[in-house]
A and B are shown apart, each in its own frame.
Chain A
């Protein structure tokens, strides 16, 4: 009837159509186009990195030759050798590692402590403070930086490593939130058992909750490490010395030869070395995040 035909009027939804060869062809076409777009996107995303790596293996002249070639004529691994040996790459790494050692452990412990407090220790005002803490994320960094800079100048702390230690001790809202969510998911029996055994709250935290928080500790410490490793602004503003230059600072200013000419391919090689730890840590963090979410929520993968 006419009304029946109206309901089933769309030919493309009939069963006979969906099993026809034509439809399967369309499906195949769709898949191919989909994959093509995705692969094109993947190439677009990876290409800049490939270009960086390939350019770091070029001669300085080859870099500025025209037309630009992706793969250099000769692979100039000596760039890497020169950066590490002749230009003391690891001096800058050393400075950055000092900052990391000051910042990461303090950040992890401070955030873990605060996260534990917010998650497991009841007290009046806890909820209000938690909301205040979350809201503090919205404050732009530079707003707190400028007055801090004034204070640091007054206290002659500019050019020292103190700010990083202090920032680590203060903790960070994101990380506190992560720990809080994680600790909140532990069963109450754990605390009760510890209390029965006569544990003070701090011992409960230190010996029971913290050791079980390895995934979050990994995530937070990797995040803290990445922040110090990549942070140009704070380091450039507070550590202005040439000999105190950190990795991030040097990677921006680049390497020059004794006559002052910029050694571009050398700098590119240094940047490649600079980037590798971040990528490695990213993969490690991913594994830990998935594991951590699995532990906290019971959802695997």
Chain B
């Protein structure tokens, strides 16, 4: 067969859609069978069961006296002042944290991508906090921010002698913001560095030849080319910041009852939505109600994500057309 005939055959086959015999195709399903089974059992199954659970009054034990109560859990949830307040708190926290956690690592990345020596060393250094487990980090902040012997209060004492700020009780949000930035900033900074370094040098040099100053070059050449990474960080932040839950409990929790660390309750100002969900399910045994709250949060997050995605058209620049 001539090359042309071969090409024709291949193109025709492609158009028809390749019929792959089951003999061969079954291997694909065999290979992914662990994931498929796991996906059904650990992802799809729980979600369906959870949604079903949210329409009942399940309390962990009353399988026999289960009652289908329809949307009553959701109606209660929307009107529940504790839910609304905890939701407002986490939203306020997100609105403060989001800019901080996006801009600070970005600035650090910009600084680190200048021509400096030891770039790799600093990049590794800034990333190390991200690999510190939460349990250890909690101790670090507990002893550094302590009222009576914390380093932070020592610094405060140097500025205004005799004054000791009760960080853990009066300003838990600030502790959360700083500890969150410390732990997560490195990862974001490394990503931003990668994005900044992927900007083609020819473009920057071309702009310099055309007379662009440093600031102009940054805003008109560099920044647009890293909008995909900014978009990615923004989406991740939007999705996950609303779910913050363990850190407030471990850092500020009081009344450690039976069961160890997770039964502690954080003070009101950091009592976030997800913590209320956790308490509803595991302390108040309102499984159905808790899952309803969770679903509401998920719908909210999904809506927010879709909104951000739809604005991407206006400010995210892709080399390749994404439509």
B-binding residues in A (CB < 8 A):
10, 13, 31, 34-35, 37-38, 41-42, 45-46, 48-49, 51-52, 55, 63-68, 70, 110-111, 113-114, 116-118, 121-124, 126, 129, 133, 136, 138-140, 142-148, 150-151, 153, 166-167, 169-171, 176, 201-202, 205, 226, 229-230, 232-233, 236-237, 240, 248-249, 251-254, 264, 267-268, 271-272, 274-275, 278-279, 281-283, 286
Asked if residues A37 and B37 are in contact (CB atoms below 8 Å), the reply is: no
Q: Is B315 positioned at the interface, with any CB of A under 8 Å from its CB?
A: no
Bound: A78/B292 CA distance, A: 51
Q: Is the interface of A mostly helix, strand, loop or mixed?
A: helix
| A123-B25, A176-B35 known; A144+B182 contact, CB < 8 A | no
Bound: A131/B50 CA distance, A: 23
| Chain A residues, Cβ within 8 Å of B28 | 117, 121-123, 126
Asked if residues B131 and A51 are in contact (CB atoms below 8 Å), the reply is: no
| A45-B128, A279-B128 known; A232+B261 contact, CB < 8 A | yes
Bound: A41/B53 CA distance, A: 48
Asked if residues B39 and A133 are in contact (CB atoms below 8 Å), the reply is: yes
Bound: A151/B45 CA distance, A: 11
Number of A-B contacts defined by CB within 8 Å = 248
B 266-307 binary contact with A (CB < 8 Å = 1; else 0): 000000001001100110000100110011011001100100
| Chain B residues, Cβ within 8 Å of A117 | 27-32
Q: How large is the interface on B (under 10, 10 to 19, 20 to 34, 35 or more residues)?
A: 35 or more
Q: Is B98 positioned at the interface, with any CB of A under 8 Å from its CB?
A: no
Given contact pairs A118-B32, A232-B246, a sample of 18 additional A-B residue pairs in the complex whose CB atoms are under 8 Å apart = A46-B125, A49-B129, A63-B149, A64-B149, A65-B149, A114-B35, A117-B27, A117-B30, A121-B27, A121-B28, A122-B25, A123-B27, A133-B39, A143-B46, A176-B35, A237-B262, A272-B136, A279-B132
Bound: A229/B211 CA distance, A: 53
B 134-152 binary contact with A (CB < 8 Å = 1; else 0): 1111111101100011110
Asked if residues A153 and B60 are in contact (CB atoms below 8 Å), the reply is: yes
Asked if residues B154 and A64 are in contact (CB atoms below 8 Å), the reply is: no
Bound: A51/B139 CA distance, A: 11
Bound: A74/B59 CA distance, A: 54
| Chain A residues, Cβ within 8 Å of B122 | 38, 42
Q: Is B215 positioned at the interface, with any CB of A under 8 Å from its CB?
A: no
B 14-50 binary contact with A (CB < 8 Å = 1; else 0): 0000101000111111111011111101110111011
